[in-house]
Chain A
Amino acid sequence: MIHRSFLVAALLVLGSNVAGAAGKTKPADTPAIPRDPGAVEVRVERARPQKEKHETLRFLKANRDFVRARYDLLRQMAINQHGEAGPIDPRFLSYGEMLAAIQAAGDSVEFVEDARRRQLLLASITELGELEARLDLMDKLLAEQQGRLGVLQADFTGRQQTALVVVVSGTPGSAAVDSIAIGLEDGTRRAVALTAEQREALRTGGVIQVFHGFVEPRVQVVEIALTGVAWPAGSSGFVELDPERDHLTLLRLDLAAVNADTGAAAIAASAWLHDETSGAGD
């Protein structure tokens, strides 16, 4: 669900110039893709940048045999305890009650609507007073419904996760790109083989999405690997990104300057943060 909202957001940012991975083509007279005003140029390095290494969990590593032996021992121990179910999150219990309340509210609204029709026929001043009271009830029910929606929204859409979308534009002048792979430091690697439709989309000014996934919110190096006839073993470039926690970072790779000699190092890259306040969620 979150992934889908990210995609929608990305598409909104990129406007109508995005040709998706499905291979939709763009007309030849498509105007240039507008760059996000907050985008910053990102340098693509030929070699992976080296980062300062900080030692972590020194005690655990120094005493790994002891700690593992303790866990091995634990697995063999019989524990005289009865298993007990953990407490159920009270929010989940309340959802059933909320559904019942929603159903009851729906019935009440229907009842009031029937009554309202009858009231119109009777056109009695006294009964109009009753109608007013019932309209107040409808207002109250609507307010309660809004409150319940607020609870659900807070529970299910309140927390965003850190994510990265990588899109590609432009077409190399003298070298064809067969596939593009994106590699993250945590070992995630996704390769997209370009279809004829996608190549055409790039040639005519379109944009294709080659990566969309969660990333760790920290400074990290992202590898971009191109393969093609000019680079049978692949040509890699490296960009350093610092995705902001709980936000969507977009990285755009422009292949226009790439040629057989320069390879991936000639990619022009820019990155920006997706502004979630732009109203996509509403």
Chain B
Amino acid sequence: MDSRRSSRFRVVAALLTAAVLAGSLPAGAGEAPHFAARTGLVVATAAAQSWAVDARLIYVENDADVDSTGTSERWGYLFFSKSLDRARAYSVRNGRIVTAENLEMKFEAPPLTDAWLDSGQALAAAEKEAGLEFRAKQGGELSTMLLVRGVFQDGDPDLTTWAVVYRTASGPSLFVVVDAASGRVRRTWRG
């Protein structure tokens, strides 16, 4: 009798513990883990190399919200193949490619340099220079991070840069361009 009561007690205790643990999990426990942009590059590159041997990475953008550490649940990677004259995008989530599609627009961008700072470092630089103040004073929020070469840097179009975009309901967005090699903020503007 005692042993039966004891085992029943253990079952109840286990259920209670499980319930407490479940309750203590964060709200987003079911979401895929966040990761920095470079983390997803391995699987995206493997896919791109299967698609075209001359595929080169030309563009990176967050496909889901970026958090305060510069990580996101999903990142998009765009590759260009000169031999195919096409660009193909891969969206990576939780270490897996969840979307692969050809870009239906002509986009022959130059390849990114190999040595680019990861999204966390780029965001930290942007925050320190202007983002923090913009968010505090303008009620802005981080909306987009994109890595590209030659679009936002007139003086040195060969430079691979992170563009960190903050939006606000009260006015134009803030663009912070960060040198992807040095981490130095190159320019900021509202637009």
A residues sitting closer than 8 Å to B (CB atoms) are: 52-61, 64, 67-68, 70-71, 74, 77, 79, 81, 161-163, 185-187, 214-220, 245-246
Indicate if B63 sits at the interface (CB-CB under 8 A). yes
Contacts of A54 in B (CB 8 A): 63, 74, 91, 93, 98-99
* Chain B CB within 10 A, most for which of A60, A161, A187: A60
What's the count of A-B pairs with C-beta under 8 Å?
Answer: 99
When A and B form their complex, which 10 residue pairs have the shortest distance between CB atoms, in order from nearest?
A218-B97, A214-B50, A216-B47, A56-B91, A56-B76, A54-B99, A57-B76, A70-B151, A59-B144, A54-B98
Q: Which residue of A57, A70, A216, A220 is within 8 Å of B103 (Cβ)?
A: A57
Enumerate B86-113 residues with CB–CB distance to A below 8 Å: 88-91, 93, 96-103, 105-109
Q: Which residues of B contact A218 (CB under 8 A)?
A: 47, 90, 96-98, 100
Report the minimal beta-carbon distance from A34 to chain B, rounded to whole angstroms.
Answer: 29
Return the contact of B108 from the options A71, A186, A187 (Cβ within 8 A).
Answer: A71
Q: Are A57 and B50 in contact (CB under 8 A)?
A: no
User: Which of B107, B144, B150 has a CB less than 8 Å from the CB of A74?
Assistant: B150
Once the chains are docked, how many angstroms separate the CA of A91 from the CA of B167? 47
Q: Cβ of B43 < 8 Å from any Cβ of A?
A: yes
CB distance from B38 to the nearest CB of A (A): 17
- Residues of chain B with a CB closer than 8 A to A67's CB: 107, 148, 151
Residues of B within 8 A of A53 (CB): 99
Q: Decide if B101 touches A245 in the complex (CB within 8 Å).
A: no
- In the assembly, what is the distance between CA of A77 and CA of B156, in Å? 11
Contact B98 A246 (CB under 8 A): no
Among the interface residues A161, A215, A245, which one has the most CB atoms of the partner chain B within 10 A? A245
B157/A162 in contact, CB under 8 A: no
Min CB–CB distance B180 → chain A (angstroms): 17
Q: Does B61 contact A (CB under 8 A)?
A: yes
In the complex, what's the smallest C-beta–C-beta distance from B78 to chain A, in angstroms? 6
